[in-house]
Amino acid sequence: MATDTSGVVSAVESTAEDIAAMEIRGAATIADAAAEALATQASESTAASPEAFREELRAAARTLYETRPTAVSLPNALRYVLRGMEGETVSELRAATIARAEAFQRDLEQAQSTLGEIGANRLRDGDVVMTHCHSTDALACIEAALEDGKEIEAIVKETRPRKQGHITARELRELGVPVTLIVDNAARRYLDRADHVLVGADSIAADGSVINKVGTSGLAVNARERGVPVMVAAQTIKLHPDTMTGHTVEIEMRDESEVLPEVERAEIAGGDHGDDELQVENPAFDVTPPRHVDAIVTERGQFPPESVVTLMRELFGESTGEPWEP
């Protein structure tokens, strides 16, 4: 198999490219793919010594880490797998790393299903849920409510610029949920018909702030004003350990072409003054303060945002380093 000079196998490189290009996207799916990629690195490694094996795994983790900065599920997944890299020989290290990655993937799936059952308890028969972007954690709540025999309807925000709302609409239709798809700007008008706003998260900070797809914070403010509760479905892998020590979460800025394709840019800037002073900004996420969130639903139960720090201390201790640091 192909490797680069650091011994990182091509399957890891291609997973990293797919995460960066959002072919693999959504915080939980990214974590799953990252664990899988580390298992592949372990299984395909040709390292001659335990030290070389460990170094290769750390290089693979760095390659995966450098793709997208906001969803903490990625470094949390890498850290979890690397911490299981134990053994004296290459073959012991290989087996331990693969087993750890598999355990991580199993736990991730189980956590989402438990979270779904907890989140479903907040949904009543006949409720209308407004969604933003596409979140597998949020959809797990709706799916569990349907399994409980409740009827749920959805108002699905399109979610510019990448329109992940279309994925949500498709998956909800596959579940038989009646869907009304709206443009993002129509959200406030349709909140009058909604019983809940239900979104996922890419990271949750220690103060209970929710970092999620851009547009979530405005939606939450409008929902608060309209008296519609905001529910965030987020497995504990979305809890951001660094925020316990005051770090802020980096908001990913993506390529402007996602907002304004070349041809449209040329149409806007085709006049006498050219396009030197035409700026397009494309932040992928925003921060919703805890006061606009009613509940964070995790596999460990539901929490008021302000108390999520207690859970974080329990899970992570006081602080953590980079995923590849022992």
- Residues near ligand RI2 (CB under 6 A) are 25-29, 133, 135-138, 164, 199-202, 212-213, 284
Is residue 133 annotated as a catalytic residue, yes or no?
yes
Nearer to ligand RI2, 53 or 285 (CB): 285
Distance between CA 153 and CA 131 in Å, rounded?
A: 11
| Min CB(116)–ligand RI2 separation in Å | 11
Give me the catalytic one of 133, 137, 242, 294.
133
**Which pair of structure tokens corresponds to residue 271?**
């006049």
Residue 100, number of CB atoms within 10 A of its CB: 21
- What is the Cα Rg of the chain in Å? 21
Q: What sign results for the dihedral spanned by CA atoms 25, 26, 32, 34? A: positive
Least distance from ligand RI2 to the Cβ atom of residue 200, Å? 3
Shortest Cβ 189–ligand RI2 spacing (Å): 22
Nearer to ligand RI2, 135 or 288 (CB): 135
State which amino acid sits at residue 108. L
- Provide the token pair at 225: 């004003």
Could you confirm whether 141 is annotated as catalytic? no
Pick between residue 75 and residue 200 the one whose CB is nearest to ligand RI2. 200
- Beta bridge partners, 288, equal 210
Distance, in Å, from the CA atom of 115 to the CA atom of 245, rounded to the nearest integer, reads 27
Q: Give me the catalytic one of 32, 127, 137, 202.
A: 202
Q: List residues bridging with 153 in a β-sheet.
A: 128
CA distances to 29, 31, 104, 217, 274 from 109, in Å: 10, 11, 9, 28, 51
85 or 133: CB nearest ligand RI2: 133
Question: Considering the complex, what minimum distance in angstroms separates the CB of residue 25 from ligand RI2?
Answer: 4
Residue 22 Cβ vs ligand RI2, minimum distance, rounded to whole Å:
6
In angstroms, give the least distance from the CB of 272 to ligand RI2: 38
Cβ distance to ligand RI2 smaller for residue 11 or 199 = 199
By the 8 A CB rule, do 299 and 112 touch? yes
Phi-psi region of 204 (alpha: psi -120 to 50; beta: other; left: phi over 0): beta
Q: 316: part of which helix (H) or strand (E)?
A: helix 308-316
Q: Residues of 135-165 as b/e, b for ≥16 C-beta within 10 angstroms?
A: bbbbbbbbbbbbeeeeebbbbbbbbebbbbb
In this complex, which beta carbon is closest to ligand RI2, that of residue 28 or of residue 38?
A: 28
Catalytic residues: 133, 202
